[in-house]
Structure 1
Amino acid sequence: MKKDIHIPKVEDVYIAVVNEYNDVYKTQDWNAYIINDKNVDLDMILIVTSGYSENKTTSVFRKKLDTLPKKSYAKIELMQEELFALNNTFKVSFFEGNTMFDKTYTFRKNTINLKALQSVPLMDAKGVLVK
């Protein structure tokens, strides 16, 4: 019975694409981060990312984090600017205690750009944020 299944709502977990300087290569890079703004640790985080449009699809990228401590963040991947012309999805699943949470974050095509930068929670950086 579908009505008996309780799917908890994900709150205070975000995905941000941040524009930051790379000291090693002396370039401005776009990096995707997961942010845990909760007061509890997250466990067994699984992130599946992909990009798509009407006629193009990227390969699927998967990342696993054992733990993401409370009030912290972790880098997911470096993003090439060519991907911003596509819709980019980040499917995130994690455990908080014994409860599993799941949410899909979507950056619509052309929404990741320098004009859309804003302050990112917990990071001393500017980026594009999806809640």
Structure 2
Amino acid sequence: MRKDIEIPEVKDVYIAAVKELHEEYKTQDWNAYIINDGKEPLEIVLITVQGYSNTQMTSHTRHKIAILPAKGFAKIEFMEESIFKVDNFYTVTYFLNNKMYEKRWEFPAFSIKERSLKSIPVMPKKGVLAI
């Protein structure tokens, strides 16, 4: 029975940490984004986030995006810099063409830093892509 289950490969979807100006407080903040670089919108996007190490664990958070347009992106959450010292995991489940997709991305501990900023798909900003 397990051999009959098709698990489609996730393509053209990314998780990125982006440092940007917070307009109200005039601070440079890190935010997590989900990026859809595909040609079709993603439906019912469910995201769970948790960070942990051998000695610490962050709270488990959940997010929902009804539709993420093709070549679009959406902010997931603000990233407090104190969590950068633990491994942070983003598990994303979504529907595309009536099939369910799922993938887990990771920001390893200490991987989110300004010197790691690079161009990222779709967004006109630089960021750090999760692996």
TM more than 0.5: yes
1:29 alignment counterpart: 29
2-side partners of 1:7 and 1:77: how far apart? 28
For each residue in 1:1-35, what CA deviation from the matched residue of structure 2 results, as whole angstroms up to 9, or x when unmatched?
Answer: 22221100000000000011112101000000000
Task: In structure 2, give the amino acid aligned to 1:90.
Answer: Y
When the two structures are aligned, how many residues end up with a matched partner?
Answer: 131
2:61 alignment counterpart: 61
> What SS does the corresponding residue of 1:70 show, helix, strand or coil?
coil
Q: Which runs of 4+ in 1 moved over 4 A?
A: none
Cα distance, 1:127 vs structure 2? 0.7
1:109 alignment counterpart: 109
Equivalent runs, 1:6-21 vs 2, <5 Å: 6-21=6-21
> What SS does the corresponding residue of 2:83 show, helix, strand or coil?
helix
TM-score scaled by length of structure 1: 0.97
TM-score scaled by length of structure 2: 0.97
Cα distance, 1:42 vs structure 2? 0.4
Cα distance, 1:130 vs structure 2? 2.3
Cα distance, 1:91 vs structure 2? 0.4
For each residue in 1:66-114, what CA deviation from the matched residue of structure 2 results, as whole angstroms up to 9, or x when unmatched?
Answer: 0001000000000000000000000000000210000000111000011
Q: Does 1:123 align with 2:114?
A: no
1-side partners of 2:16 and 2:33: how far apart? 5
Structure 2 unaligned regions, length at least 5: none
Structure 1 unaligned regions, length at least 5: none
2-side partners of 1:71 and 1:114: how far apart? 25
Task: In structure 1, give the amino acid aligned to 2:82.
Answer: E
Calculate percent identity across the aligned residue pairs: 48
1-side partners of 2:96 and 2:21: how far apart? 33
2:46 alignment counterpart: 46
2:79 alignment counterpart: 79
2:5 alignment counterpart: 5
Compute the RMSD of aligned alpha carbons: 0.8
When structure 1 is superposed on structure 2, of 68-77 and 3-12 the one drifting more is: 3-12
